[in-house]
Structure 1
Amino acid sequence: MKTQEIILQEEKQRKLLLGLLFDAIGMLSFSIPFVGEFGDVIWAPLAGFIMNYMYKGTVGKVAGFFTFLEEILPFTDIIPSFTLTWFYTYYIRKKDKN
């Protein structure tokens, strides 16, 4: 049982670090106003796919859709959608199950 707990803890940490990285990538275009928004055309669908891949089930699908919207809409790159989804998955949703 301890081995499974260690694996779950490592997965949790890996998803947090990847989420922070992907949020930083998404915010890069925010640092270059107007020019960077064109990069979102490529990043938005990729970010939505990555989110859907990282979080399975309904959470992944809903978060993937909102991540796509957040990245494709102008001036919304500041929202850390990957980090918020991680927080929801491991803290808010966890409380709902208990």
Structure 2
Amino acid sequence: MNLQNLSKNKKLLVGLLFDACGYISFIFPPFDFVWAPASAWLMTKLYKGKKGKIAAAVSFIEEAVPFLDIIPTFTLMWLYTFVFSSEKKPKETIIDIN
């Protein structure tokens, strides 16, 4: 499964879905035993590199600790990556040959 190549809009939708899955533990608390490691793994699949690993650790802790499930970790990571990150992407250079 290669989630890293999804467009940013699809990553947002997938993140919202994964955040919603985290809320299942409010109804069925034992779900956290399965969801905490799964959410960490999915986070590493959505976001590569060091920031993906850090987000995975945060996601695991957030899902494993009771009453922190309300935090939308996947959505916050999407906001960090696509809205607040200062990482510059290379600009395209157009060379006009006439």
Moved over 3 A (4+): none
Equivalent residue for 1:14, pick from 10, 15, 27: 10
Aligned residues: 84
| 2:96 equivalent in structure 1 | none
Matched residue type, 1:24: A
- RMSD over aligned CA atoms reads 1.4
1:37 shift after superposition: 2.4
Report what 1:23 is aligned to.
Answer: 19
Matches within 5 A, 1:2-81: 11-30=7-26, 32=27, 36-81=28-73
TM-score norm. by structure 1 comes to 0.80
In 1: Cα distance, 2:67 partner to 2:29 partner: 8
The whole-number CA distance in structure 2 between the counterparts of 1:65 and 1:42 is: 15
Equivalents in 2 of 1:84, 1:56: separation in Å?
Answer: 16
Using the TM superposition, give the Cα deviation of residue 83 of structure 1 relative to its aligned residue in structure 2, in angstroms.
0.1
Distance in 1 separating the partners of 2:50 and 2:81: 11
Report the TM-score when normalising by structure 2.
Answer: 0.80
> Which residue in the other structure is 1:97 paired with?
87
Structure 1 residue 28: Cα displacement: 1.6
What is the deviation of 1:97? 2.8
1:33-89 superposed Cα distances (whole Å, 9 cap, x missing partner):
xxx221101110000000011000011100000000000101111000000000000
Distance (whole Å) between structure 2 residues aligned to residue 12 and residue 97 of structure 1: 15
The alignment-based identity, stated in percent, is: 48
